[in-house]
Amino acid sequence: MAKLIVRNSGPLHGEVKISGSKNAVLPILAATLLTEDECIIQDAPALRDVEVMNQLLMSLGAKVESDLENNIVKVKAEGEISCEAPFELVKMMRASILVLGALLLRSGRALIHLPGGCAIGERPIELHLKGLRALGAEINEQSLAKGIVDAKADKLTGSTIYLDFPSVGATEVIIMAATLAEGTTVLENAAQEPEIVDLANYLNKMGARIKGAGTDTVKIEGVDKLHGVDHHVIPDRIEAGTFMVSAAITKGRVLVKNMLPDHLKAVIAKLRECGVVIENTDEGVIVDGSQNTIVSTDIKTLPYPGFPTDMQSPFMALLTVAKGPSVVMETVFENRFMHVAEFNRMGANIRTEGKCAIIPGGRQLHGAPVIATDLRAGASVVLTGLVADGTTEVSQIYHIDRGYEHFVEKLKALGADIERIDD
């Protein structure tokens, strides 16, 4: 198994360019199934999850030309599309469920095992299915009890749908399904993440009629047909946030290029509370952790525009070395403190109580063998390794490969002492 060797690196300096968004490109790739025309997706990051989604599209009958070295994927889902997503691919990635609505529209049926992905807690798909039922799909309950989604629909019809929780995945699946449904769909309490706005912009380029994406109410007027387009994916806000924290935790100064500050308002506000100097320039965002003592703050994860759950573990890495105690409250996923045990191996002395983690702060961390328990936790233990005494060995780094393009190379360019060892 591959692993990372990370050593105390001193302040990071230089510039880093942020890649296209993983969480934006995956639903956009799924949406290529909604047309028989060729779609060109640019700024697609070279990630394991993107490779898996490409394989899934090919398994369903689409033609995929993937040039991830140049961050371009071309998809043409012409002719007959299979209704069944292979289990060996679905089990590798949570985002596989995003093809659900497109398969219903193209094949009249969708057959998908409940997907895998990071083990950060229960992420049920009841809201996805609730929305599809409201649009006219029939869900086989006996198959669902066995962990298989078997949905059928001769046609989908617009409806008013209220989500009990603003689920990103459910919002994306319902928007995709409603684009070619008869009539108008109104989706209330929708998720508002920037990745949903990017999906809606992409679909509107294809000829869809979607209004309100990025607010809690999205209106979709069904159309008869969608056409192929050329689309650039937005920058990855979680990668940008991670590199901002890397500058702060090492007391360095880094220019983060190709990021959209408006997508990270909550993270930027908390970094400033910690004493990090952040300056917007024409070239990008300068993050300077060298000017002030890094002090503690409290964070609470919330759906967008609140503090993102994907930034919780990277930010906790910063709080382990900040002056003073901090409290982190996780409200989105119940199992997202698995990285605490890894931080504690390095001397962080964090304790958890239910949804809260109490971080004493001000610790001098020491290197240790640690595990990337999930995608974001993997990046987090790398960040702590940059400021820990000695050597940190990070295993199970396939999680990191799923969501950070050229992570090691980008850190090295900033002066990090890190190397990858492929066994």
Mind telling me the catalytic residues? Answer: 118
**Residue 216, Cβ density class (10 Å: 0-12 exposed, 13-18 middle, ≥19 buried):** middle
**Distance, CA of 46 to CA of 340 (rounded, Å):** 29
Phi-psi region of 61 (alpha: psi -120 to 50; beta: other; left: phi over 0): left
For 85, the 3-state DSSP assignment is coil
**Distance, CA of 165 to CA of 191 (rounded, Å):** 8
Phi-psi region of 212 (alpha: psi -120 to 50; beta: other; left: phi over 0): left
Q: What one-character DSSP code corresponds to residue 165?
A: S
Instruction: Write out the two tokens for 369.
Output: 């063998």
Q: What one-character DSSP code corresponds to residue 94?
A: G
Contact between residue 372 and residue 378 where contact means Cβ atoms under 8 Å apart: yes
Contact between residue 181 and residue 158 where contact means Cβ atoms under 8 Å apart: yes
Phi-psi region of 59 (alpha: psi -120 to 50; beta: other; left: phi over 0): alpha
Residues 254/256/257/258 CA torsion (nearest 10 deg):
170
**Distance, CA of 253 to CA of 54 (rounded, Å):** 37
